[in-house]
């Protein structure tokens, strides 16, 4: 790919990563609220589950947008992939996001394992987001 500059791509990536982190914390807050309402048996507002679900869809979209930007930007700049640990960190986060989304859709009264898988996956996702942010910062510094 012979594009004049990738700065526009990195700007989109920066906003998408910031959005993914913001939505992660929004999901953490709303998920904690739902957990508290369930464990104390006080219930939750009717809109909370839908807000949590829509926020989950948005973070999945943002992570896949970041994956696409990373592939296009790296192949366009270097001609191939795998120039840093950021690729593996990113693929790890994409896998965790997919596992989290899948397990969220499995949560039901009959599937008691799905909720614990969802929560555990999202706890690991926090570490993944920190690591992919750190490695991403190193990658962006190479381009600038």
Quick check: is 85 in a domain? yes
Report if residue 61 sits inside a domain: yes
Rounded Cα distance, 56 and 58, in Å: 5
Residues 6+ away with beta carbon under 8 Å from 85: 135
> What pLDDT shows up at residue 5?
66
Tell me, yes or no, whether 132 lies in a domain. Answer: yes
pLDDT at 90: 95
63 assigned to some structural domain: yes
Which portions of the chain are predicted below pLDDT 50? 1, 3
pLDDT recorded at residue 80: 86
* Domain total of the chain: 1
Q: Quote the pLDDT of residue 115.
A: 94
21 belongs to a structural domain: yes
Q: Which residues pair with 108 in a beta bridge?
A: 111
User: Model's pTM, two decimal places?
Assistant: 0.89
Residue 35, phi then psi, degrees to nearest 5: -65, -45
Specify the pLDDT at position 1: 47
CA angle, 55 then 25 then 88, to 5°: 90
For residue 144, the model assigns a pLDDT of 65
**What is the per-residue pLDDT for 143?**
67
Structural domain harbouring 133: 7-143
């Amino acid at each position: 790919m012979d594009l004049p500059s990738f700065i526009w791509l990195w700007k989109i990536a920066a906003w998408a990563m910031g959005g993914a982190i913001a939505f992660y914390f929004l999901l953490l807050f709303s998920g904690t609220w739902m957990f508290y309402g369930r464990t104390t048996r006080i219930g939750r507002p009717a809109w909370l589950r839908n807000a949590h679900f829509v926020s989950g869809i948005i973070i999945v979209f943002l992570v896949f947008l970041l994956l696409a930007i990373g592939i296009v930007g790296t192949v366009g700049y270097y001609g191939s992939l795998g120039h840093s640990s950021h690729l593996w960190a990113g693929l790890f986060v994409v896998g965790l996001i997919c596992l989290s989304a899948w397990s969220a859709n499995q949560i039901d009264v009959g599937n008691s394992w799905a909720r614990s898988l969802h929560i555990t996956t999202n706890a690991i996702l926090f570490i993944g987001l920190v690591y992919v942010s750190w490695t991403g910062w190193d990658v962006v510094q190479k381009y600038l």
